[in-house]
Structures are given as C-alpha cells and as structure tokens.
C-alpha cells in the first residue's frame, strides 16, 4: 500500500488550516449582511439619525462598532468591523474619510 495519499494529506493540511484562519478580504465582506444579522438585534437605524447621536467622528464610529462586536461576542475580523463602520458612514454619518 502506497504512503503517497498520507504524505500528500500531511503536506496539505497545514496549508488548508492557514487559509481557513485568514480574515476575509474587504472586498468579500458583506457588511449589510453582518449589520442585518447582528446590529439590528439591539437597535434600528434611529440611533444613527437622531439629533443627539453620540458618534461624532469616523474614529468614534469604528470604536462603537468594535465595542458592539465585542459585547455581542461576535469575533469579527478587523476587515469586517471596518466594512460595517464604512457602510454605516456612507449610509448615515457621512464623515470625511
């Protein structure tokens, strides 16, 4: 019996594990889906449009998205946090980038 299948598998498994652990590239992140599946569980878009909204800068927006992600225990990658913050900025906040 040949050992080639076992050797091949032993060589490929670490590569596959690394590929699975890599964060998604920003062009593959579906920010709207992340927002819909997670953010809307706690609040609607009224928090972004009210006159006395707490977020006053793009940095603060990123920080808020990160805080919400941590509070919900989501374990998002930085690209996912950036994508959701960017989507919210484009749609509601309109801070200069």
Q: Where are the domains of the chain?
A: 24-93
Higher pLDDT, 84 or 1: 84
Q: What is the mean pLDDT of the chain?
A: 85
Looking at the chain, the number of H-run helices and the number of E-run strands are 5, 0
Is residue 17 pLDDT above 90, yes or no? no
pLDDT grade for 11, boundaries at 50, 70 and 90: low
pLDDT more than 90, % of the chain: 70
Question: Residue 35 in contact with residue 84, Cβ under 8 Å?
Answer: yes
State pTM to two decimals: 0.72
Q: Which residue has the tokens 């050992």?
A: 3
């Amino acid at each position: 019996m040949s050992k080639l299948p076992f050797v091949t598998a032993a060589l490929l498994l670490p590569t596959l594990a690394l590929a699975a652990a890599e964060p998604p590239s920003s062009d593959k992140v579906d920010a709207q889906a992340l927002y819909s599946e997670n953010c809307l569980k706690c609040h609607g878009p009224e928090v972004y449009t009210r006159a006395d909204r707490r977020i006053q800068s793009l940095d603060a927006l990123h920080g808020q998205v990160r805080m919400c992600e941590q509070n919900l225990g989501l374990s998002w990658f930085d690209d996912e946090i950036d994508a959701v913050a960017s989507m919210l900025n484009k749609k509601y906040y309109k801070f200069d980038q």
